[in-house]
Amino acid sequence: MKLVGKYPTLRMRRIRKSDWIRRLVAENSLSVNDLILPIFLREGKNKIEPISSMPGINRYSVDKINLIVERACRLKIPLVALFPYTSNKKKDNYGTEALNENNLVCKALKVIKKNFKEIGTMSDVALDPYTIHGHDGILKGNYVDNDKTISILVKQSLLQAQMGCDIIAPSDMMDGRIGEIRKALDKNNFKNTKILSYAVKYASNFYGPFRDAVGSKKKLKGDKKSYQMDFKNSTEALREVALDIKEGADMVMVKPGMPYLDIIKTVKDNFKIPVFSYQVSGEYSLIKNGIKNKLINEDSVIESLISLKRAGSSAIVTYFAMEIAKKLSKNY
């Protein structure tokens, strides 16, 4: 880049002097259209239960989700993402509950689709909320069996599509699953069901509070390093994305968010596809606790989200979605 002008004729601070000029020259912005709201589901009736590892976030029984979805609709949040807390007695080695058409995600999809036309629904494809060992697939010894797992994920995807899910989001990191899922969806006439692939998902230490929220934390044997990406790598992310695009992904996800801004940018610069990012539970709880303890102020939330936009995210899954949507609606 060629520098034009220099001090004292050039003063960079001129365009930072007042709020109005800062607004005029702003290169990035955040709107409600950028926000995806995760919702945790639980069994039972009439339950809204706080999650201790994620201050301000609740698990909802299905009969109560109308409350939160209605609020999301009123604020014009475009998409909700559903995550189930499955009770222990429904978990097994194969994640059988994932294929139960009366499981929490299926029930919630039906309710939301029936009552709300203006909001999209997204559901995770992976077995970890349903397996007794907490892994995203079927174990053979200590190793998650790729191809056996895919055959179940395909069924899970079809079931979710039948329940009215708009965006199927495989977060399992098995090789080749996007192609198989796309093929099955098309064959069963779900041609408009979209696939958001968690193409670049790292074996991260920032998922702790989420695993607590869906009840897989104490269950997880070992780690997920044999399928989720090594956080030392970046060019590998490009191979993952290239493969998933070829297999039929409509959008790709980079996850986690803030520790991986370089990856979001690299993916964005190399592919013409919408790139989403996921500000994960550990990022959320750290910021939230920082604010609670007055170490950082509330605007750090907007700063963290804008950083994800600046890196190239089209949209962001964030547990701050509701509070930020409220804030944005008041400001404008």
- Catalytic residue ranges: 201, 255
Based on the shown chain and the rule CB under 6 A, indicate whether residue 207 belongs to the binding site for ligand PBG.
yes
Of 17, 13, 39, 36, nearest in space to 318 by CA: 36
Whose Cβ is closer to ligand PBG: residue 217's or residue 265's? 217
Binding string to ligand PBG for residues 220 to 259, with x set by CB under 6 A, is what?
----x-----------------------------------
| 154: amino acid identity, one letter | V
Determine, following the binding rule CB under 6 A, whether residue 34 of this chain makes contact with ligand PBG.
Answer: no
> Contacting ligand PBG (CB under 6 A), which of 97, 136, 240, 247?
136
Q: Which two tokens stand for residue 181?
A: 């899922």
Count the site residues for ligand PBG by CB under 6 A: 11
- DSSP letter for 4, please: -
Q: Which of 114, 109, 66, 67 is nearest to 84 (CA)?
A: 109
Segment lying near ligand PBG (by CB under 6 A), choices 100-108, 203-211, 260-268, 302-310: 203-211
Nearest residue to ligand PBG, scored by beta-carbon proximity: 210
Task: Please answer whether residues 37 and 31 qualify as being in contact, where contact means their C-beta atoms are separated by less than 8 angstroms.
Answer: no
Closer CB to ligand PBG, 10 or 139, in the complex: 139
Q: Dump the DSSP string for 253-299.
A: EEESSGGGHHHHHHHHHH--S-EEEEE-HHHHHHHHHHHHTTSS-TT
212 binds ligand PBG per the rule CB under 6 A: no
Stretch that binds ligand PBG, among 120-128, 141-149, 160-168, 175-183 (CB under 6 A): 120-128
Are 255 and 198 a contacting pair, CB within 8 Å? yes
Tell me, residue by residue from 165 to 184, as one string, x for binding to ligand PBG by CB under 6 A and - for no binding. ------x-------------
Which CB sits closer to ligand PBG, 66 or 175?
A: 175
* Structural tokens at position 213: 């929220």
Among the listed residues 177, 211, 288, 309, the single contact to ligand PBG using CB under 6 A: 211
Distance CA 247, CA 179 (A): 4
What does the block give as tokens for 62?
A: 């299905």
Query: For residues 71, 73, 74 and 77, what is the CA-based torsion angle, rounded to 10 degrees?
Result: 100
Residues at the site binding ligand PBG, with contacts judged by CB under 6 A: 124, 126, 128, 136, 171, 207, 210-211, 224, 280-281
